Structure 1
């Protein structure tokens, strides 16, 4: 299984400009979805809803969201909420438990790790990982022309 394709908007932000990606290839814009943030599901728990309110404005400003992204964004926010809940409980209960077999890792360690993996996977789809942020920063057009840069 190969790498997941990035949305056209992310490839353009990281690209060379004039509709080209970082490798100079023309970026296919794909279907003309309406670029507006989806409505938050009413069933999100408190932590997931807070994460939704935190990330949606920035993603919307970059033109990365469409109403059809609601399910994926909700899954990202719920993964965050699970990660936070498991982390909070581990802080109070500790990383290990005592059982007949001896000292074992707390079951929440596995839940926390699984939620973290899911969180990273969903975050990458929305450009929310540190490496994607750096790539976006490199590709952002701040309006200043750098005449000394031979790659610009």
Structure 2
């Protein structure tokens, strides 16, 4: 966020990511970074709209498999899935009524569902990025199932 003290500029990398990269900046790593409990299984909330629940059932198993879904991330999953459901509803309205509809005075106006769809899509991008659901953000996430690469010749050096 530009102009906000302490929040401007590039987002910091997680400590685990810096450590795996060999701490290229040679700065002191944050040893007190919170380590939240990973979720092992969770069903969609009952209040989720049908399409949102379907997306939940598709993405949550993937996040669990990658061991990147912490208990503190569930609200982001809910927000992503809700935004998806809203986007689908808005798109259905656009398909049913078209891009242009009759306004209050009877003249043609842009279908308000287009604005709702755009806002929902923006929310999906935001929350999906936080969860690593797009290729660019996936490269920034360190999952619990990633194994450190081992050097095949390390054993020769230690003997």
From 63, 76, 81, the counterpart of 1:77 = 81
Once residues 25 and 53 of structure 1 are traced to their aligned partners in structure 2, the CA distance between those partners, rounded to angstroms, is 40
Question: Deviation at 1:7?
Answer: 7.3
State the partner residue of 1:103.
108
What are the Cα deviations for residues 108-134 of structure 1, in whole angstroms up to 9, with x where unaligned?
A: 011001111111111111111232246
State the partner residue of 1:33.
36
Compute the TM-score of the two structures, normalised by the length of structure 2. Answer: 0.68
State how many pairs are aligned. 138
State the partner residue of 1:148.
none
RMSD: 3.2
From 6, 17, 20, the counterpart of 2:20 = 17
**Long gaps (5+) in structure 2:** 2-7, 152-159
Question: Deviation at 1:17?
Answer: 2.8
Secondary structure class of the residue paired with 1:120: helix
Cα pair 1:38 1:67 within 8 Å, conserved: no
Once residues 21 and 139 of structure 2 are traced to their aligned partners in structure 1, the CA distance between those partners, rounded to angstroms, is 20
Question: Deviation at 1:5?
Answer: 3.9
**Long gaps (5+) in structure 1:** 146-152
Once residues 12 and 77 of structure 2 are traced to their aligned partners in structure 1, the CA distance between those partners, rounded to angstroms, is 15
Does 2:14 match 1:8? yes
Higher relative contact order (CA 8 A, sep 6+): 1
Once residues 3 and 125 of structure 1 are traced to their aligned partners in structure 2, the CA distance between those partners, rounded to angstroms, is 17
Cα pair 2:130 2:137 within 8 Å, conserved: no
What are the Cα deviations for residues 33-64 of structure 1, in whole angstroms up to 9, with x where unaligned?
A: 21115632121111111111111111122221
From 43, 47, 50, the counterpart of 2:47 = 43
Secondary structure class of the residue paired with 1:128: coil
